[in-house]
């Protein structure tokens, strides 16, 4: 088993930060229109800092793993820095790139996080 | 109307000021319909529904109903199914059926039976079962008792109504039947007619099987809710017969639907991204049926994943997979028939 696959499966079975964030200050929902992945990312921003980030998803293993590593990464991070997280950071965290045709699965949480941060008034998506 | 209630908004009844309502109140032997099944015979000769699968019995009911429309009142017609001619060639069904026939002024709110049907329909619209109690002879009267305990109408006095309410609680669980009530030194027979809200089939995955399911479920008096995360699939154009179409996170949509015994959830997305979260939301809820499309091997794999999360064997055994009755079909309409066959079997108590 590749490192990518092992990490994805571990996060899929034991996702970090899954579940609603009761005191969220902003939220965004995203979907991959053909495969049906759906995710909601919620953040609690105080001042310029992300104090908490959680997600809820009916989505594939790659999408959930990406959401898991991403929400853990941006906790405690300044909003502007979080908004500048690049797709390649997801690949690094998962120790590999998704197979052909599945790139959108890994990018959906990042795109949705950016929109949540924009909704919080932090940065433009 | 098939087995259910008079619907005053039914276009076929708009020109029928009064009708004869025929209700199968008792049956012995091999009958094809359940007690409580109804037929309406209009003054114009119009027929809606039927108390048997057809043949000579319905013809006798129609004849009696036509006569009763002239005279008014109510009567119980007892019909033997041991028809002489059929006996000779071995086609007899055997047994008897008792059919209560009563004239109802459909649009008259003072008519106790018409009013009872309106009240029972309101109860069903709230998602509650209702029992209509009515005497088999004498003056028309009706009492409606809802699942939540509300009463509408009366059988004549409060003692009778209290006695009927006690029986209705049993009928609510066990089904429609005749029962005697003793009051003021006399005993009369009453029919207790249980009406239940339709089965709601929640379909997860807006693919081709779902399209067939929504078309066919309507014929079986089942409501359908189509659920998908994909707006392009879950459209009214693709699902003209669906009662509801909901787009969003399937597990959240399912969790928001009141989880009663009359809800059946059919997972036909064939995609774990929906199956796992929806099953997590359902396995500890009281929904009446959970089915999942896929092979036995795939079903075992899904159960294994959920078992790791703490779901018990008993909870996991609730998942019907492979879904449906084994009729050997492969095409979407054939799979839909097999799924609906299993839902009918569960509804009628032939399958758990």
DSSP string for residues in A40-105: EEEEEEETTEEEEEEEEEE--HHHHHHHHHHHHHHTT-BHHHHHT--HHHHHHHTTSPPPTT-HHH
* A9: pLDDT strictly greater than 50: yes
Per-residue pLDDT tens over the stretch B265-280: 999 999 999 999 999 9
> Tell me, what's the pLDDT at A70?
98
Please check whether residue A81 is in contact with residue A49, taking contact to mean a CB–CB distance below 8 angstroms: no
Q: Is B271 on the interface with A (CB under 8 A)?
A: yes
Please give the residue of chain B at the shortest CA–CA distance from A60. Answer: B273
Higher pLDDT, B55 or A85: A85
Total-model pTM = 0.80
| CA-to-CA separations, B288 to A113, B183, B319, in angstroms, rounded | 38, 39, 11
Residue listed under structure tokens 């999360």:
B309
What are the start and end residues of each CATH 3.40.50.720 domain in chain B? 200-347
Q: Is B308 on the interface with A (CB under 8 A)?
A: yes
Range of the domain at A96: 3-119
Residues of B with CB below 8 A from A31's CB? 229-231
- Total domains in chain A come to 1
Residues of B with CB below 8 A from A37's CB? 229, 273
> Tell me, what's the pLDDT at A123?
59
Query: What residues of chain B score a pLDDT lower than 70?
Result: 1-4, 30-32, 52-56, 82-94
> Tell me, what's the pLDDT at B188?
93
Domain-embedded: residue A125: no
Radius of gyration of chain B, Cα coordinates, nearest whole angstrom: 23
Q: Is B34 on the interface with A (CB under 8 A)?
A: no
Collapse the DSSP code of B285 into the 3-class scheme (helix H, G, I; strand E, B; otherwise coil) and give the result.
Answer: coil
Collapse the DSSP code of B94 into the 3-class scheme (helix H, G, I; strand E, B; otherwise coil) and give the result.
Answer: coil
| CA-to-CA separations, B247 to A40, B20, B240, B241, B254, in angstroms, rounded | 14, 44, 15, 16, 11
Domain-embedded: residue A124: no
Domain-embedded: residue A53: yes
Q: Could you give the CA distance from residue B56 to residue B66 in angstroms, rounded to a whole number?
A: 15
CB contact under 8 A, B230 and A36: yes
Residues of B with CB below 8 A from A36's CB? 228-230, 233, 269, 271, 273-274
> Tell me, what's the pLDDT at B55?
62
CATH of span B200-347: 3.40.50.720
Q: Could you give the CA distance from residue A93 to residue A97 in angstroms, rounded to a whole number?
A: 10
> Tell me, what's the pLDDT at B2?
44
CB contact under 8 A, B230 and A34: yes
Would you mind telling me the total number of residues written for chain A in this entry? 125
CATH number at residue A106: 3.90.1010.10
Please give the residue of chain A at the shortest CA–CA distance from B308. Answer: A13
């Amino acid at each position: 088993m590749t490192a990518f696959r092992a990490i994805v499966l571990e996060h899929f079975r034991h996702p970090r930060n899954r579940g609603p964030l009761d005191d969220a200050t902003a939220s965004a929902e995203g979907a991959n229109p053909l495969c049906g992945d759906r995710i909601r990312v919620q953040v609690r921003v105080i001042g310029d800092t992300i104090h908490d980030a959680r997600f809820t998803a009916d989505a594939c293993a790659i999408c959930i793993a990406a959401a898991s590593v991403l929400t853990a990464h941006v906790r405690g991070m300044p909003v502007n820095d979080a908004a500048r997280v690049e797709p390649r950071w997801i690949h690094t965290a998962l120790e590999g790139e998704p197979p052909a045709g599945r790139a959108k699965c890994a990018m959906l949480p990042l795109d949705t996080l950016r929109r949540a941060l924009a909704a919080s008034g932090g940065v433009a998506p | 109307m098939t087995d259910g209630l008079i619907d005053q908004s039914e276009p076929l009844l708009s020109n029928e000021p009064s009708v004869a309502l025929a209700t199968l109140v008792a049956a012995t032997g091999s009958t094809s319909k359940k007690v409580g099944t109804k037929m309406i015979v209009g003054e114009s000769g119009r027929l809606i529904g039927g108390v048997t699968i057809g043949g000579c019995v319905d013809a006798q009911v129609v004849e009696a109903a036509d006569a009763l429309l002239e005279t008014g009142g109510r009567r119980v017609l007892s019909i033997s199914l041991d028809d002489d001619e059929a006996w000779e060639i071995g086609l007899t069904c055997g047994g008897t059926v008792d059919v209560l026939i009563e004239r109802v002024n459909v649009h008259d709110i003072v008519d106790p039976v018409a009013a009872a049907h309106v009240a029972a329909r309101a109860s069903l619209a709230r998602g509650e079962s209702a029992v209509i109690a009515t005497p088999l002879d004498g003056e028309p009267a009706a009492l409606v008792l809802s699942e939540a305990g509300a009463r509408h109408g009366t059988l004549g006095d409060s003692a009778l109504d209290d006695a009927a309410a006690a029986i209705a609680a049993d009928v609510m669980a066990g089904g429609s039947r005749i029962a005697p009530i003793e009051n003021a030194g006399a005993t009369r027979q009453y029919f207790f007619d249980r009406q239940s809200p339709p089965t709601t089939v929640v379909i997860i995955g807006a693919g081709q099987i779902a399209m067939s399911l929504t078309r066919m479920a309507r014929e079986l008096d089942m409501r359908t809710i189509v659920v998908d995360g994909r707006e392009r699939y879950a459209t009214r154009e693709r699902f003209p017969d669906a009662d509801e179409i909901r787009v969003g996170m399937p597990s959240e949509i399912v969790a928001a639907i009141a989880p009663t015994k009359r809800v059946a959830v059919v997972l036909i997305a064939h995609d774990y991204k929906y199956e796992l979260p929806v099953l997590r939301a359902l396995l500890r809820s009281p929904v009446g049926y959970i089915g999942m499309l896929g092979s036995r091997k795939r079903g075992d794999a899904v159960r294994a994943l959920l078992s790791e999360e703490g779901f018990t064997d008993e909870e996991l055994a609730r998942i019907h997979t492979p879904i449906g009755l084994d009729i050997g079909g492969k095409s979407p309409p054939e799979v839909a028939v097999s799924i609906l066959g299993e839902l009918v079997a569960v509804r009628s108590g032939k399958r758990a």
